[in-house]
Amino acid sequence: MMLLDRTTAKAPLIMGIVNVTPDSFSDGGAYDALAQARRLIAEGADVLDIGGESTRPGAESVSAGAEIARVVPVIAAIAAEWPGAISIDTLKPNVARAAFEAGATIWNDVTALSHTPESLDVAADLGGDVILMHMQGEPRTMQSAPRYDDVVAEVESYLLQRAVSAVLAGVARERIWLDPGIGFGKTLDHNLALIRATDRLASHGFPLLMAASRKRFIAALEEREGGLPSGAGERIGGTLAVHLHAIASGAKMVRVHDVLAMRQALRVWSALQGHL
């Protein structure tokens, strides 16, 4: 089982996104998922995150059966030819179990293992890494006027509570990652506050994942400053800026669509820091 090593000299890790969905905000499912996975591997991905249900704002849910039919063949094919780590991006424990049987070793859950009463127990039984993400609301409604009194404190508290619940359920502490959930029930200012607080969120002994790739808040910032909003595929520069800031502030992994650009930016940044 290929588990993630938080002490690896290769950190920070790059997680490449493979959406096996017809309605992803970024790519619309208009490509062959296995070909995309192979391209991301060639570009230097350390982890592949396979998702069969869109979590974009307004997205409709799909059945577990449909989700399994989408992701399992892709995971099995990748696992048969690549020794790297494979993540399943799902909120459903039965989908996670099927994905692990096919070769996944990481469960990336946007509900932080709160979608069903059995999610925590299934995660413990699977024995892999888990990524606990914060989301206010659920995908269909999460961007309908999200509100916080103190977004950093509330997200921080929620993630730590979920981490404790996972440990109590039997998930190994060293297998838990945290994700502040950029763009999931947050306004532009909420997202910026969380990104600025990366060092704080990464200070609790759990490695932090930052996932801001091509997110809508980048276009919202352009609009606020009087510019035209960029399309999803035009937000690579903003994505790199966020992720390099997060890495410099302690993030151990970044989740991206554009692995080649992220790998190049990380290589140059590392050289400038004297790490290469």
Q: State both tokens at 76.
A: 């099995």
Q: Which domains does the chain have, with CATH numbers?
A: 13-272 (3.20.20.20)
pLDDT in tens, the chain (276 residues): 555 655 444 679 999 999 998 754 444 443 589 999 999 999 999 999 999 998 776 667 899 999 999 999 999 999 999 999 999 999 999 999 999 999 999 999 999 999 999 999 999 999 999 999 999 877 666 566 788 999 999 999 999 999 999 999 999 999 999 999 999 999 999 999 999 999 999 999 999 999 999 999 999 999 999 999 999 999 999 999 999 999 999 999 999 999 999 999 999 999 998 875
DSSP string, 112-126: TT-SSTTHHHHHHHH
Give yes or no for a contact between 261 and 236, defined as CB atoms under 8 angstroms apart: yes
Question: Which residues lie across from 106 on neighbouring strands?
Answer: 87, 129
Whole-angstrom CA distances from 109 to 75, 92, 141, 189, 201 are 17, 8, 18, 24, 18
What pLDDT, on a 0 to 100 scale, did the predictor assign at position 21?
Answer: 82
Quick one: pLDDT at residue 29?
42
**Prediction pTM value:** 0.92
Residue type, 78: I
Contact 141, 186 (CB under 8 A): no
Catalytic residue numbers read 215, 255
**Cβ atoms < 10 Å from Cβ of 269:** 17
